[in-house]
Amino acid sequence: MRFPRLIPLICLVTCLAASAWSADLTGNWAVRQDQHDGTERRTYFDLKQDGDRITGHIRATQFYYAIKESTGEADGFTLTGSMIDVDKKERKVTYRGKLIGDELHIAAAGRGGAPGTDMVAHRAPAGEGAYPARVDLPALHKVPDNGLAKTPPMGWNSWNKFHGRVDDAAVRGMADAIASNGMKDAGYLYVNIDDTWEGYRDAAGNIQSNKKFPDMKALADYVHGKGLKLGIYSSPRPDTCAGYEGTYGHETQDAKTYAAWGIDYLKYDWCAARNLYAAEEMQAVYQKMGDALLAAGRASKRPIVFSLCQYGNDDVWKWGPDVGGNLWRTTGDIRDAWDSMTKIGFAQNDLAQWAKPGHWNDPDMLEIGNGMMSDTEYRTHMSLWSMLAAPLLAGNDLRDMTPGIKEILMNREVIAIDQDKAGKQGKRMSLAGDQEIWMRDLDGGAKAVALFNRGGDAAKMSVKWKDLGVKGKARDLWAHANVKVEGEEFAATVPSHGVVLLRVSK
């Protein structure tokens, strides 16, 4: 008996089965996500499938993973990538996905192994998204001092509050606020744009800003018109931390562009340059940009402050000045939280010898006013950063501050400690449980003395006048009141998570 109608069906089933068995993930796959600013965030999966084994690399923003583990095949697979992070610890990522037609549906596994947001990847030309060839680094030499930042820079940075939401209007709004609310008169001068301003490069390789910043030169002119200065951000790798265009291979070109725009300050973030260079090569990498900024600044008669952001790796404080650095991060990123701020700030004691006029240790930007700490804790934050001779870069929305936050950020007496022209960083005098006393030598023989109570309850603290090496007059800088200098010691009840900050002089 014949079954003519069944033959096509049998063929169809057989063909589909053969197609499923022959499906191969081998190739270069790209996920393109619209950033709504004229750019795309791209994630690349460069895969090679050999049966049930998948190898290759994953490139996602600042991260570049080698695939170390895999299970399954095209109809359902799991990939685990591994890389060594900047802190020399292993970082892993796991993706789950499957091939549907000519689309690769894939998602990063979140906590508990659950899949995250589904992404769709399509085949891309071989080599697209691959890391560029390594550019050789120059021999080490000392970059001449640019003569800037004789006191720690003061201003504002967009990242802590706005992250990727920063745009031209927000920057202009911050400049307006600084110029009108008293911050400019208190010393805040820099208006700094962090990551996500970058567009693509033109045919000549010149960096362009994206749609959020339609005219960077016009923005710089606006900020300068307020009597302020404009800062910008980049990275020595092909991409920035957020996955935007970096400076790799364009150091001289980008420095000239910044100068032509009217940029006064560059934050240069190591981020994932680790994928191209070893930690011990950081000095040469930063020197390359230091040379470029110095040359561009001289040619344009607009010198540019150079801020090194590589989280304190490779003892940056020892070589930061030699690459033209005016300040260098000494820590990982700060959070608007008591534990983060105190862990960072109170760990700076051993770095005091490296701070001096023109060259500063940078424990990261201020979180004052972002809402997750109390005003008492924010006063401690401001006091500690001032004792450290740290840059004071506000990270909140300056257009809408409470009176309490304004008073903290614009306490002229505390700012005077930070900006003291002697440029000597404070150090810990004593530590007893949760109570710490720090002292800083000031110009003219005066001292700044800070009594910090990190504990959960108010505590009585005291310091002997003889231990300060100076006794004459004293002033409480938060109470804005003179203190009687009598007896052998100064004593005060310091609130939980609070501070008493004194200026003592002859």
Domain holding 446: CATH number?
Answer: 2.60.40.1180
Residue 283: C-alpha distances to residues 141, 236, 237, 240, 303 (Å): 10, 12, 14, 19, 21
Q: Flag whether pLDDT at 246 surpasses 80.
A: yes
Q: Please state the φ and ψ torsions of residue 156, each to the nearest 5 degrees.
A: -145, 145
Q: Flag whether pLDDT at 366 surpasses 80.
A: yes
Residue 315 domain flag? yes
Q: Flag whether pLDDT at 259 surpasses 50.
A: yes
Give me the pLDDT at residue 6, please.
43
What's the whole-number mean pLDDT along residues 253-274?
Answer: 95
Whether residue 225 is found in the same domain as residue 265: yes
Give pLDDT tens digits for 405-435. Answer: 999 999 999 999 999 999 999 999 999 999 9
Whether residue 110 is found in the same domain as residue 228: no
Q: First vs last Cα of the chain: how many Å apart?
A: 117
Residue 166 domain flag? yes
Q: For the chain, what is the domain count?
A: 3
Give me the pLDDT at residue 115, please.
65
Whether residue 95 is found in the same domain as residue 239: no
**Rounded to whole angstroms, how far apart are CA atoms 399 and 377?**
21
Give me the pLDDT at residue 471, please.
87
Give me the pLDDT at residue 116, please.
72
Give me the pLDDT at residue 158, please.
98
Which of 375, 404, 425 is the C-terminal boundary of a domain? 425
Which of 102, 123, 144 is the C-terminal boundary of a domain? 123
Give pLDDT tens digits for 165-189. Answer: 999 999 999 999 999 999 999 999 9
Nearest alpha-carbon partner for 320 in 145, 193, 153, 195: 145
Give me the pLDDT at residue 369, please.
98
Which of 368, 403, 425 is the C-terminal boundary of a domain? 425
String of b and e for 225-247 (b: at least 16 CB within 10 Å)?
Answer: ebebbbbbbbbbbbbbbbbbbbb
- Which positions ≥6 away from 462 have C-beta within 8 Å? 489, 490, 491, 492
**Rounded to whole angstroms, how far apart are CA atoms 384 and 366?**
11
**Rounded to whole angstroms, how far apart are CA atoms 267 and 115?**
35
Give me the pLDDT at residue 21, please.
41
Give 323's DSSP letter: G
What's the whole-number mean pLDDT along residues 371-389?
Answer: 99
What's the whole-number mean pLDDT along residues 273-284?
Answer: 90
The catalytic residues are 269, 333
Q: What mean pLDDT, rounded, does the chain reach?
A: 94
Predicted confidence band of residue 18 (pLDDT cuts 50, 70, 90)? very low
Residue 81 domain flag? yes
Whichever domain contains 37, its CATH number is: 2.40.128
- Which positions ≥6 away from 225 have C-beta within 8 Å? none
Nearest alpha-carbon partner for 272 in 21, 421, 95, 86: 86
369 within 8 A of 338, measured Cβ to Cβ: no
Residue 4 domain flag? no
**Cα of 178 vs its chain's centroid, Å:** 22
**Cα of 482 vs its chain's centroid, Å:** 39
Whichever domain contains 215, its CATH number is: 3.20.20.70
Give me the pLDDT at residue 207, please.
98
Whether residue 167 is found in the same domain as residue 101: no
Give me the pLDDT at residue 14, please.
42
Give me the pLDDT at residue 272, please.
77
Give me the pLDDT at residue 5, please.
52
41 within 8 A of 35, measured Cβ to Cβ: yes
Predicted confidence band of residue 111 (pLDDT cuts 50, 70, 90)? low
Whether residue 437 is found in the same domain as residue 389: no
Give me the pLDDT at residue 112, please.
59
Expressed as residue numbers, the domain containing 236 is 154-425
Whether residue 96 is found in the same domain as residue 180: no
What's the whole-number mean pLDDT along residues 264-292?
Answer: 94
Selected residue with higher pLDDT from 295 and 15: 295
Residue 2 domain flag? no
* pTM: predicted TM-score of the whole model, two decimal places: 0.93
Residue 163 domain flag? yes
Number of residues that this document lists for the chain: 506
- The H helix count followed by the E strand count for the chain is 13, 26
pLDDT above 90 coverage of the chain, percent:
89
Give me the pLDDT at residue 113, please.
61
Whether residue 416 is found in the same domain as residue 472: no
Residue 143 domain flag? no
Residue 374 domain flag? yes
Whether residue 467 is found in the same domain as residue 406: no
Q: Flag whether pLDDT at 275 surpasses 90.
A: no
Strands (E), 304-384: 305-309, 327-329, 360-362
